[in-house]
Amino acid sequence: MIEKTKEEFRNYDDPPCDTVKEFCRLNHVNQAYNFIQEKKKEFG
């Protein structure tokens, strides 16, 4: 197993550019929305 320092991991709270931040935000919103829609179909 490869050991990493804390600084070597990706920082999702403060990404290096705005496009990365927006990409992560949109993925989170859309995944959450799609998940809820699927559960509504599944359980009514």
The pLDDT value recorded for residue 42 is 92
pLDDT of 11 > 80? The answer is no
> pLDDT tier at 35 (50, 70, 90 boundaries)?
confident
Q: What percent of the chain has pLDDT over 90?
A: 9
For residue 4, what are the CA distances in angstroms to 8, 14, 16? Answer: 6, 19, 19
Q: Look at the pTM and tell me if it is higher than 0.85.
A: no
Q: State the average pLDDT for the chain.
A: 85
